[in-house]
């Protein structure tokens, strides 16, 4: 994690694999919590469903703001059956970043609060 000046919030970037690795993710959560103690992040940023689950849990445990970035519809995700729960989790983020207007519409159709969603398109 990069240290930033005191005038800017410190962000911890959380990225895990696409799977939900059970005990492996619990260990990662504890390790990430220890990193927070070291870096004292103000904001947790996650992406990918497994990272978002851990980001959500950490934001509650550490009382920090949580931002998630949604990169796609996750239709090919091997655990796509879990998407109905992911919409509930994403709806608890302080901010949801969608990479396109279409992705924003998909999130809203599936129950994510539109006021939480910010569209930031990928660059070329």
pTM (two decimals): 0.73
Strands of 1-124, DSSP E: 11-15, 43-47, 65-70, 95-98, 117-119
Q: Where are the domains of the chain?
A: 11-119
Tens digit of pLDDT for each residue in 17-67? Answer: 444 444 455 445 555 556 556 667 788 888 888 888 888 988 898 888 999
**What fold does the segment set 11-119 form as a domain?**
Rossmann fold (3.40.50)
């Amino acid at each position: 994690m990069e240290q930033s000046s005191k005038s800017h919030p410190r962000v911890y970037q959380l990225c895990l694999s696409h799977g939900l690795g059970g005990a492996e993710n619990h260990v990662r959560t504890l390790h990430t919590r220890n990193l927070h103690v070291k870096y004292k992040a103000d904001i947790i940023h996650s992406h990918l469903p497994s990272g978002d689950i851990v980001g959500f849990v950490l934001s509650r445990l550490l009382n920090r703001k949580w931002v998630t970035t949604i990169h796609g519809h996750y239709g090919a995700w091997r655990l796509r059956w879990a998407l109905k729960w992911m919409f509930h989790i994403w709806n608890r983020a302080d901010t949801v970043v969608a990479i396109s207007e279409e992705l924003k519409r998909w999130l809203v159709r599936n129950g994510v609060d539109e006021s939480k969603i910010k569209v930031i398109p990928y660059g070329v």
